[in-house]
Structure 1
């Protein structure tokens, strides 16, 4: 007997076609970029030279008529089409990789070193590097075959007739393209290219390019970003060149030379020895062609990644209407039917929406409440062991130094401090000294060190110097990227969870819950929503107040040189929560007594919904310029140090 077929999820009828259309749009743009690069790699100069006699004959009669060779240089069905297909395959492999590895949300790992260690232990990283390497391997022969003979980029060269020799120049270019793949793999995880940002800012109507107005908005967004992407590709190609020179001449040259000889010997009469050539192949012309090839292959990758990241987060619209407007399950996807659907299988539709949204919002509250609390460890089960009988007497707790009576004064204080140091080596014995011993210690310190030296060796001064040194070191891009613990990611992890923090989930949840509540006054025929309005107001108020309180007391890490407490993801959620709470309170305040909302709860809700005040402008220096965060922190430390010195002087007096 055949089993019951699995029920198809209703959202797949609308979501999957939309995703297919977005992938098709990405592939079309990538195909256009591949065709453009195929035209750039065409041998236009050789065509002009070969058709020069023909052009000289027809110059007077048909000066604007193209020759057949010029036609085949750009016609898609021909050499240009073959190059386009191979280059498109280089980008298509990366698109398939993006589909397999995409994620939604900001990575909340605290430092780049943690991200690096996690990536090195993840098989997904090596899969990404493998496909970037395959892509560069496919692009290499296309670029080499497109170069003219004068570029000296053929794998085999002939000297003295038929003596075949392996050419090291294309070998270096192939290693350079492999280095581009390695560098792109590192950038793929360093920049978190797999992330789909659902909260991408939408351009305003006045910001649209009038020349691109005939294209859809998503295509306009991609085309506007391509110039900056191309400039970044040039920069990355130059960086890969310096890395390739180091890797090739230090590690890869002998290995790559022997491997290439072993691969080509069955096809050519090459020398049996594998001695490296005495001269280096990297001249100025080869380096320039390497940058050219690296820019093209990086642009294929970057254009595909940019288009995928923009097209896949398009607004869920079809012909200007929501994707769910044509859904078979209208009651589960359209707002006006939610209030009336009370006979659903798992309960009324509003009750299901309310429960899901409240669970999402309360998850923020629970994370904030749990922050800073020690993890509750499971109590170990008591082992049924038989207590051992004591063999020796317990350790003595009396003083180490033996005296007939009680010793006082300096000698007694020193002995007490020595006794404490022997019993607890980690404790500081100076605080346990007697007043006479403290005075003697201070006098010895004054005789050995001057006031300036004592101030320089004070804990506050040393701490301030260490913080300044740390801030200067963390400003170095390579060091800071590995060891910096940004406030943004740490605070987002505490509020939104790990390993990814996606604000769009909470933004959409708050907007849906608040808008459904507001519109229920006119559309809820059965009055089911008003019973939950009080709980919605209390929950939004509690979440806003707790997140704001946590942000105030959330500490900055010592590796963060800026000291700025900003987290755009959390701030975006707070803004939406304040706006929604303000709308709900404004609509339902006249019915507060029926909803059982006290005046105190309404006052707290209004305070939570109020927009925060803008930060005061920074202090200015003598030249009238605003001071940096480091300068403000330095002045604050100096003021604290002066206040501490004043207190110490008063105590001495």
Structure 2
């Protein structure tokens, strides 16, 4: 894990992340293939138990076809996954931003294709007694008749795919929640590592979630069976049948009856759909669950960081931290937090690598993590003051004054004296008449005189009426908009304090909670362990910046959460007790990560802070923002200084 020799090209972080994701996908596919095999056995003929479960016969073919149905959802998840929850101000903004986009159509097509493979496999697996063929032969002297049963069954399955697409988009199944690590309360021994795995094993999570998946799937299939039955017979039956008949009459010699009559015996078919539709939704939900569980695993390979295989591990990690893709950057921050917390040998290399091209490794890591926190400070500052500009800080370069290229040969003009000379006074009679005539013409051509004209007066009256109409229209719109927002339908337009706070503190369009917490945890761990592991004694130079940035971030968050207005339409927040109105779980979690990190740094460097360049006021401010109840010994120690 030493620094690579000069001239060695550092491999990108994705060269180690992509194989890790492939390994997780293979593990998830094994459980999915097992579920597909169980469904294939259920679809088979139960007259011969040997061939029912034998994988090299028809059961194996059904298993592969059903697995292709599941694979289409895996491809969808791989193409559209993102880290963090969606961040929007209102529910209607969520709809307009995420519904009218190509990804929505891709989601609908993927689920429809999956449903098509599943239902065709099921129809193929049924015998003639199920009456799922497209045509019915009837008697010898009769023409073929179209069978409505397979049409209705496919209709229900496609309707089920549309409903599942809506659930997918509504619950944001494309979201992956990465772990937001927090600094430990106790430093512990720097020479021993903690267990790498922080969560339960994936198979245990999948086993516990099967009951909930089955319940949800049965409910959705039952609702679609009832809603599809009503919708089919109330308006879409003749429309679907017309296209069905127009296409089929080119394939078979059909009777001239072009519309279905009567009510076919669809009750057994509905029970058939509820059973098989439940299995299909179980397959979809299981695929989504396995993808979430395995993709959200720690960035480890054989219980060590995934970049340990690189010739320059820290160089590859830095490439990941600097990545332009938020998903790659988020996982790189998580790996950095794990390294600083549970892998002491790898952590020591961060302190010791001083000959890196741009800057020492520890300095680059510190700058990147502090940059993540500075970005948080800028977001909150903009939330407190909409006119805030990051460049408004003191110390910025000011525009230079004009450059004089020619030496001055005369004094500048004075403002209190006129530039042009006064006209000569009239001396003759004709000059007096001419001056009087010119003054009269100037007075009648002045702007003030033009405004008194009839045309100008009419224009002014029209402008006043237009302004009054605009104000009346605005008040009319405001009145009815307020009524709409106050109604139950207005839930889509209501502004939520929780949503706004999450956007301001954690960013948009997706939450950056994991990046903020993992960056804070990495900085706190590097600072604390540097006392024992930084043999060169260079990391302590960044302690003042870490303390200042942590303090400013905590103060900004507290100021915003205490002073941010609660919108009048936010009935959910206004209905809570006064003490709970300004509590937002995600913001509180981010603040606690920062607070614990600052508490660890202050506890380790308490007696050295004044000698590192921090003023007494800055030290007391940092200890104050940590909290008197959280660290009374720090406040007492600061008072003695």
| TM-score over 0.5 (shorter chain) | yes
8 Å CA contact 1:107, 1:501 repeated in 2: yes
CA RMSD of the aligned region, Å? 3.3
Within the candidate set 38, 45, 52, 1:73 is matched to: 52
8 Å CA contact 1:342, 1:349 repeated in 2: yes
- What secondary structure sits across from 1:258 in the alignment? helix
- In the other structure, the counterpart of 2:326 is none
Whole-Å separation in 2 of the counterparts to 1:350 and 1:320: 23
How big is the shift at 1:326? 3.1
Instruction: Give the TM-score normalised by the residue count of structure 2.
Output: 0.71
- In the other structure, the counterpart of 1:458 is none
Q: How does 1:99-498 map to 2 (within 5 A)?
A: 99-161=78-140, 163-199=143-179, 217-274=201-258, 276-281=259-264, 283-332=266-315, 334-371=346-383, 373-374=385-386, 390=447, 393-394=450-451, 473=488, 480=491, 482-498=492-508
The gaps in structure 2 that reach 5 residues or longer are 1-6, 183-198, 318-345, 390-444, 454-463, 472-478, 574-580, 631-641
Whole-Å separation in 2 of the counterparts to 1:279 and 1:7: 75
8 Å CA contact 1:487, 1:566 repeated in 2: no
- What secondary structure sits across from 2:137 in the alignment? strand
8 Å CA contact 1:110, 1:486 repeated in 2: yes
Whole-Å separation in 2 of the counterparts to 1:243 and 1:8: 58
Within the candidate set 573, 597, 620, 1:603 is matched to: 620
8 Å CA contact 1:517, 1:529 repeated in 2: yes
8 Å CA contact 1:102, 1:194 repeated in 2: yes
Cα 1:574–1:472, aligned 2, differ >3 Å: closer, same or farther? same
Q: How does 1:532-571 map to 2 (within 5 A)?
A: 532-563=542-573, 564-571=581-588
8 Å CA contact 2:180, 2:514 repeated in 1: no
- In the other structure, the counterpart of 1:34 is 36
Q: How does 1:74-89 map to 2 (within 5 A)?
A: 74-89=53-68
Paired residue total: 498
Larger deviation, residues 185-194 vs 324-333? 324-333
How big is the shift at 1:376? 8.7
- In the other structure, the counterpart of 1:91 is 70
Whole-Å separation in 2 of the counterparts to 1:329 and 1:10: 10
How big is the shift at 1:315? 1.3
1:253-294 residue CA offsets vs partner (Å, 9 max, x unmatched): 2232133223433443222442x2121336322222222222
Cα 1:242–1:612, aligned 2, differ >3 Å: closer, same or farther? farther
8 Å CA contact 1:75, 1:81 repeated in 2: yes
Cα 1:97–1:422, aligned 2, differ >3 Å: closer, same or farther? closer
Whole-Å separation in 1 of the counterparts to 2:250 and 2:450: 86
Whole-Å separation in 2 of the counterparts to 1:356 and 1:200: 17
8 Å CA contact 1:105, 1:195 repeated in 2: yes
8 Å CA contact 1:471, 1:560 repeated in 2: no
Q: How does 1:629-640 map to 2 (within 5 A)?
A: none
How big is the shift at 1:536? 0.8
Larger deviation, residues 532-541 vs 290-299? 290-299
- In the other structure, the counterpart of 2:187 is none
Whole-Å separation in 1 of the counterparts to 2:494 and 2:468: 33
How big is the shift at 1:322? 2.4
How big is the shift at 1:13? 4.0
Cα 1:265–1:612, aligned 2, differ >3 Å: closer, same or farther? farther
Whole-Å separation in 2 of the counterparts to 1:395 and 1:248: 72
Cα 1:581–1:217, aligned 2, differ >3 Å: closer, same or farther? same
Cα 1:242–1:394, aligned 2, differ >3 Å: closer, same or farther? farther
1:130-152 residue CA offsets vs partner (Å, 9 max, x unmatched): 11111111111222233444443
Cα 1:394–1:168, aligned 2, differ >3 Å: closer, same or farther? same
- What secondary structure sits across from 2:572 in the alignment? coil
- What secondary structure sits across from 1:159 in the alignment? coil
The gaps in structure 1 that reach 5 residues or longer are 48-68, 203-214, 378-387, 397-420, 429-462, 614-653
- In the other structure, the counterpart of 1:586 is 603
How big is the shift at 1:580? 0.6
- What secondary structure sits across from 2:144 in the alignment? strand
Whole-Å separation in 1 of the counterparts to 2:496 and 2:539: 41
How big is the shift at 1:328? 1.7
Cα 1:347–1:166, aligned 2, differ >3 Å: closer, same or farther? same
1:620-644 residue CA offsets vs partner (Å, 9 max, x unmatched): xxxxxxxxxxxxxxxxxxxxxxxxx
Whole-Å separation in 2 of the counterparts to 1:568 and 1:610: 19
1:504-529 residue CA offsets vs partner (Å, 9 max, x unmatched): 11111001111111111111122221
8 Å CA contact 1:132, 1:185 repeated in 2: yes
- What secondary structure sits across from 1:498 in the alignment? coil
Whole-Å separation in 1 of the counterparts to 2:59 and 2:585: 46
1:608-629 residue CA offsets vs partner (Å, 9 max, x unmatched): 223889xxxxxxxxxxxxxxxx
8 Å CA contact 1:38, 1:80 repeated in 2: yes
Whole-Å separation in 2 of the counterparts to 1:279 and 1:224: 46
Whole-Å separation in 2 of the counterparts to 1:224 and 1:72: 31
8 Å CA contact 2:381, 2:388 repeated in 1: no
Cα 1:392–1:139, aligned 2, differ >3 Å: closer, same or farther? farther
8 Å CA contact 2:181, 2:514 repeated in 1: no
Q: Whose RCO is larger (CA < 8 A, sep 6+)?
A: 2
Whole-Å separation in 1 of the counterparts to 2:227 and 2:177: 31
How big is the shift at 1:319? 2.4
How big is the shift at 1:578? 0.6
Instruction: Give the TM-score normalised by the residue count of structure 1.
Output: 0.70
8 Å CA contact 1:179, 1:243 repeated in 2: no
